[in-house]
Amino acid sequence: MSGRFRVREADAEDAEALAELYAGSGLPGAPGDAPEAARMLQTGAAFLLVDDDAGIAGAVRWREEEGVAWFDLLRSLEPPAGAELVRAVGRRAQDRGLRLARCRAPDTPGMAAYFARLGYLPVGRERAEDGRALLVLERRLPLLTVREQRRGDAAAIARLTGADPWPFAQGARPGWFVAADGERVVGVIGVRDAGAGVAELAEPVVEAGYEGRGLEVWMAERAREWAQTNGFHTCVLPATPRMRALRRTLEDRLWQVEGGRFVHTRPRAAEGDGAER
């Protein structure tokens, strides 16, 4: 996300500001006043807002329907704020495993070109309740994954971590994993042998704009699974301020804070099981 903007979910306290933002927009279905905006928020309409130093700079309504992320009522006071909201919808869709995002927008000159710059292409036209023409646009979203490091990831790993890319360019290194947004590497984690059956996980490195989406925990869990599958009985992870903010989620996955680190010990098989779980 741009450092200039902050995207967040709207709540009931934003009703008046939301109404002011949409005033005069002419968007079909937009709230006409604060009470209407409050009713929409109270009855399940989900709006994302983008703030800048001056206040609310834009908003968009979005929902998930039959495996597709739909959005409309895109309104911004400046083009970069609108683009940030469109990208935010895409990120939230990816977080839910959705592969398609669609929007309805006024069928006006330049609208298709604006969305094309954000990866959306026209797939149809509809009519609003008041008869105005709407353009339906669609984008197939990249799949967000955590996978083993590949040779082609070397430059991205160096960019994110500052490490020498040469060892990574020689091939996959055991215990190294990346978070990938489609083909773009946006996160890295590595595991090293600390001896005595202990695997030391590095703090996950995540690209700006991808923090707070659960990637850090996902990466730590992928690295832990690899370590415990490969004979390590204990995994440790630095309990940095960023990782401590994820403490509840990590504890749900049986990580426990011990001093300055999180520790995960592989459960022992119960007597008579014949195998470890």
Residue pair 246/216 in contact by the 8 Å Cβ criterion: yes
How confident is the model at residue 80, as a pLDDT? 87
Give yes or no for residue 1 having a pLDDT over 50.
no
Least confident range of 64-68, 85-89, 210-214: 210-214
Beta-sheet pairing, 133-140 with 100-106: antiparallel
Query: In percent, how much of the chain has pLDDT > 90?
Result: 76
pLDDT one-digit tens code per residue, 234-276: 999 999 999 999 999 999 999 999 999 999 998 764 333 333 3
Pick the CATH number of 144-265 from 3.90.226.10, 3.40.1350.10, 3.40.630.30, 3.30.2270.10: 3.40.630.30
Give yes or no for residue 49 having a pLDDT over 80: yes
Rounded-to-integer distance, Cα 118 and Cα 114, Å:
7
Cα dihedral 178→179→184→185 (10° resolution): -40
pLDDT per residue as tens digits for the range 215-241:
999 999 999 999 988 889 999 999 999
Q: Residue 136 contacts by C-beta under 8 Å, 6 or more apart in sequence?
A: 102, 103, 104, 122, 123, 124, 125, 126
Which residues share a beta bridge with 177? 148, 189
Tokens of 8: 């967040």
Measure the CA–CA gap between 268 and 277, rounded to whole angstroms: 7
C-alpha to C-alpha distance for 261 and 252, rounded to whole angstroms = 16
Do 105 and 111 touch, CB atoms closer than 8 A?
yes
Domain boundaries, the chain: 6-140, 144-265
What's the CA gap between 182 and 197, in Å, rounded?
34
The predicted pLDDT at position 268 comes to 60
Residue 130 has pLDDT above 50, yes or no: yes
Whether the pLDDT of residue 19 is over 80: the answer is yes
6-140 and 144-265: same fold? yes
CB 266 within 8 A of CB 234: yes
Query: pLDDT tens digit string along 137-192?
Result: 999 988 888 999 999 999 999 999 999 999 999 999 999 999 999 889 999 999 99
Pick the CATH number of 6-140 from 2.60.40.10, 3.40.50.720, 3.40.630.30, 3.90.950.10: 3.40.630.30
Which pLDDT belongs to residue 79? 78
Mean pLDDT value across residues 58-63: 96
